[in-house]
Every structure is written in structure tokens, then in C-alpha cells.
Homo-oligomer: A and B are copies of this chain.
Amino acid sequence: MGDYRKLWTDLGVDLEKHDKLCAVLPELYGATYLSQENRPEGMNYFNFVVSEVHGLRIQELDEARKEGRKVVGTFCVFVPEEIILAANAISVGLCAGSQFWVEDGEKVLPRNLCPLIKAFMGAKIGGTCPYFQSCDMVVGETTCDGKKKAWEVLENYLPVHVMDLPQMKRYKDYIKWSEEMKFFIEKMEEITGNKITVEGLKEGIRVSNEKRKALKRLYDLRKNSPSPISGLDSLLISQIAFYDDPKRFTEKLNELCDELEERVKNSRENDKKRILITGTPMALPNWKLHSIIESLDAEVVVEETCTGTRYFENEVSPKGDTIDELVKNLGDRYLNINCACFTPNTGRIDDIIKYSKEYNVDGVIDCNLSFCHTYAIEHKDVEKSLKENNIPIMHIETDYSTEDSGQIKTRVEAFLEMI
């Protein structure tokens, strides 16, 4: 890593605290990732991205800002990156996956709250996330009570624009979501000073669709038995998709996929159990569950999560000659995501069953971050439907601490033996 201390200082990073974070991450990454055997060559790019996670990319953002571009932080797959790109701004999905930040978050938030929310808040108020420090604005959404109210707290630290996501998927909700996207367009035009044009929005749609296609290609390759890439590596790629430069990311991911196609041709069968993970998102660097599963005789072959299929499934149609038409296309794609924030949300169960077949999985692990009510309540229905379809399922509720790792490992081991 280069010397970015001046850059960090300029961004208002708490250097002393940040040093502690920088000391933890490489060790965790080494033990979790670099220790894997027979990794694809193409993972070198992603190793590099991680090694420069608070360095080169932050410098890129800094240079872009010096040229007058704006950086917009997001936390959710519902925030339309296309609009951010169309305003010539940069979208960064912010990290919120480490226990490191939880303590600071609990200074302003209740302890009985999802670790992801406490972590992002802690990352900001502790001043240890250079991405957060680089953001000109954060875009929040009303996907859960915890985040909805946390934006009010976050607004004490930086500008936040909240998109009010509908709670249902009726015709009127599509209209409502289009209105929210138009407000967001206005907001982006206001903070960037750039007019969002039909051409610009089409280009944003094109770039985002290319990223989706590459991710879909990666996931399709995982349908092979054995998968040519570990669940851990695939998860990392999904996590990086949120904050890397989208064009470079897509290019590098496609290169990796080329390599994976070759690997598939020469692969030898193994008898690892194939696992689908469903549930709440796994933000960088939350690799806890994948790490446990793949330390056993199993591989994660698909994630029906926001750091998985929900992020890239379904493209946005580029057809249309007006902003209104394109916004409608955006709405049609985004409201098609089956998040537990909607009522009802039976489409998620259909997705899990469909993916279980397509990826030929042996079992499903429904994993919830602690205190996430929507996914926790859905579990019973997910379980019932999967059992009716003879798909084994287990439920794990956990946070970012490592205290329960041993217990989770024992439970997953028992599950793998049973299926």
C-alpha cells in the first residue's frame, strides 16, 4: 500500500483509530482468502483491490472530486446507480460489515439493532472509513425501520437524501417509486450541477447492465459442479461490485469468467455439498458464514441476498426516448427485487426454489443479521415452502462478532451430515 496518510488526514480520518482497522484487515484477508488453494489467476485483481481498499480507490475518488465530480454513498440495492452515473457522479456502496465499527455505532444507536446499521454509523462517527469521508452525500432508503431512523442520526454528520421505497408492489406503488426516482434525479442535478439527459441516463443504464451481465455470467458458471470458483471469492467480487469503478470492474470480472470457463472444461468432480445462502446482505468484510461453510466439506454456489442475486438479476430496459420512459424502466427493474421489506414478498420464496433447482443445491441456509425483523419473520414461511419442496433448510441468526462461530460451525456440520 502506498502512503496515503496525507490524503486520509485531509479527509478527516481518525488516523490512530484507522491504523487499528488497517492492522486487522490484511490478517483476516490472508487467513480467509489467501489461504484458499488453487484460486483462479483472475482473483489477483480483486486481491489488489482489497489491498488498496483504503488507498488507490480513495485516491481515485479524491482526484475525481478535485475535477468537480461528486461522490455518493449508498447502502442498498434499491438505490439506482444509473441515475448517479448519469449525473457524472460516482456511486460507492459503503462498507458496513465489520465488528470493528459496532462499538462506535452503539454510542448513538441502541444495542438491539442490526450490526450493519451500527457498523455504518460507527464507521462515520469514528472517522475510520475514508469512503464515508469522501462522500458528498449519502442516499438512504426506507427499507427497514432501523435504517429509516438511522438516517436521521446520520444527517448530523453529512447530507443524506432519503428515497421512500414503497412497502407494496401494487400499480400505484410503481408510480410512487417513479416519483421518488424523479426526486432523486432532481437532487443529483442539484448537487452536481449537471443536467441528466436521456443519453446520459441510457449510458448509465448500459454501464450498470454490463456489470449485471458480468455478475450473472459469474453466477451461471457457479452452476457447474464443482463450481469453478469458491463461494468466498464470489462473495468478495459481489462486495467489490458496489464500490469499484463499474467499467473496470466489469472488464476484470469478464476476464475472470473467461478463465473460469476454461476451468470448467478441466474440472474434476468433488463430493462437496452445494449450498444456497439466502437472507440479509453480507457487507464487506463480512465473510463469516462463507468462511465457516467452506472450511467444511461444502461450497456456497449461490446467494439469494442483496450481495448476491438481488443485486444483478434482471436488467433495465434501455428502450425509450424520454426520461419518463427510462425512469419507468428503472422502476420496473428495481421494484422487481424481492426484498423482505415488501408485504407480501412471496416472490422471494419462488426465487429460492428456482435457484435451488438451477444451481442444483443440496441445502439452503437462511442467514439473518440479528434484530432484522423483516427477514426473521419471513423465515417460517421460507422454511415451510422449502420443506414442501423437499429442500433441506437451516436457519442462522448472527451478528459480526466471532463469539458464536464455533457454535455455528457445529450446527452447519450437523446440517451437512444430514443432507
Contact = CB atoms under 8 A, between A and B. Distances in A.
Given A112-B370, A164-B167, A179-B172, A142 B376 contact: no
Which of under 10, 10 to 19, 20 to 34, or 35 or more describes the interface residues of A? 35 or more
Contacts of A113: 373, 376-377
Interface string A361-379: 0000000001101101111
Contact of A373 (B146, B151, B167, B168): B146
A7 B397 CA distance: 43
With most chain B CB atoms within 10 A of its CB, the pick from A142, A166, A343, A373 is A373
A67 to B, nearest CB: 34
Copies in the complex: 2
A373 B142 contact: no
A408 interface: no
Contacts of A376: 110, 112-113
Contacts of A153: 377, 380-381
Given A166-B164, A167-B164, A145 B142 contact: no
Interface string A241-284: 00000000000000000000000000000000000000000000
Quick one: which of A142, A145, A162 has the most chain B CB within 10 A? A145
Contacts of A151: 343
A150 interface: yes
A374 B145 contact: yes
B343 A374 contact: no
A378 to B, nearest CB: 7
A151 B345 CA distance: 12
A111 to B, nearest CB: 9
A142 B173 CA distance: 14
A377 B146 contact: yes
B144 A371 contact: no
A112 B151 CA distance: 23
13 contacts: A108-B380, A112-B370, A113-B377, A144-B373, A145-B145, A145-B374, A149-B377, A152-B345, A152-B381, A153-B380, A164-B166, A172-B176, A371-B371
Given A110-B373, A145-B377, 11 more contacts: A108-B380, A110-B377, A110-B379, A112-B112, A112-B397, A142-B168, A146-B373, A151-B343, A152-B344, A371-B371, A371-B373
Interface of A: 108-110, 112-113, 142, 144-146, 148-153, 162, 164, 166-168, 172-173, 176, 179, 340-341, 343-345, 370-371, 373-374, 376-381, 397
